[in-house]
Structure 1
Amino acid sequence: MIRAVIVMSTEGKSRLARFYDYQPPEKQQELIRRLYGVLSSRPEGVSNFAQVEAIFGPDTRMVYKHYATLYFVFVFDSSENELAMLDLIQVFVETLDKCFKNVCELDIVFNFNKMHSILDEIVFGGQVLETSSDEVLKAVEEITRLEKSASSGGPLPKSVVGRLSR
Structure 2
Amino acid sequence: MIKFLLMANKQGQTRLSKYYEHVDIGKRASLETDMVKGCLSRRKEECSFVEYKDYKLVYRQYAGLYIIVGVNETENELAIFELVHSFVEVLDKYFSRVVSLKYQPSDTAMRS
Structure with more of its chain in helix, by fraction: 1
Structure with more of its chain in strand, by fraction: 2
**Structure 2: distance between partners of 1:90 and 1:19:** 19
- Corresponding residue for 2:29? 29
**Structure 2: distance between partners of 1:40 and 1:61:** 15
5+ long unaligned stretches in structure 1? 111-166
Show the 5 A alignment for 1:42-81: 42-53=42-53, 57=54, 60-81=55-76
**Structure 2: distance between partners of 1:101 and 1:37:** 29
Give the drift of 1:19.
1.0
SS of 2:21 mapped into structure 1: coil
Q: Taking structure 1 as the reference length, what is the TM-score of the superposition?
A: 0.59
- Corresponding residue for 1:103? 98
**Structure 2: distance between partners of 1:70 and 1:41:** 14
5+ long unaligned stretches in structure 2? 104-112
CA RMSD of aligned residues (A): 1.4
SS of 1:105 mapped into structure 2: coil
**Structure 1: distance between partners of 2:63 and 2:86:** 17
Matched-pair identity in %: 31
Structure of greater Rg: 1
Q: After the TM superposition, which parts of structure 1 deviate over 3 Å for at least 4 consecutive aligned residues? A: none
Q: Kindly provide the amino acid, as one letter, of the partner of residue 87 in structure 2.
A: F
Q: Which has the higher contact order (CA 8 A, sep 6+)?
A: 2
Could you tell me which of 79, 103, 108 is aligned with 1:84? 79
SS of 1:18 mapped into structure 2: strand
